[in-house]
Amino acid sequence: MKISEILGFIAGALTTFAFIPGVILIWSMKPTPAIAISLLMYSSFCLGVLCWFIFGIMIKSRPVIFWNFVTLCLASTILVYKYMYG
């Protein structure tokens, strides 16, 4: 594995794991207070992460593919809870 891939996996882990406390908080607070989360922000963020995921597939970069998939799952969870309970 190249050093650039190792750095990519480390960077992806750090930025992706930042969503875990938010997912846990929102999951435990059902229904989510409307002020807590911006629907527009999370919608555009999920779309951006989806684009990064597709880009990762196109350039065949394992860290970009893996971490953007995980981030998309976590951010989409927040978005779904916002839509369902916000």
Q: Check: CB of residue 76 under 8 Å from CB of residue 23.
A: no
Q: How confident is the model at residue 15 (pLDDT cuts 50, 70, 90)?
A: confident
**CA–CA gap between residue 30 and residue 23 (Å, rounded):** 11
Domain boundaries of the chain, sorted by first residue? 3-85
Q: Which amino acid is at 83?
A: Y
pLDDT digits (tens, 9 = 90+) for 52-85: 999 999 999 999 999 999 999 988 988 888 787 7
Look at the domain 3-85 and name its fold: Monooxygenase (1.20.1280)
pLDDT of residue 71: 93
Residue 15 structure tokens: 């930025």
pLDDT digits (tens, 9 = 90+) for 18-61: 888 877 887 787 665 655 677 888 888 899 999 999 999 999 99
pTM of the entire predicted model: 0.76
Residue found under tokens 């629907």: 39
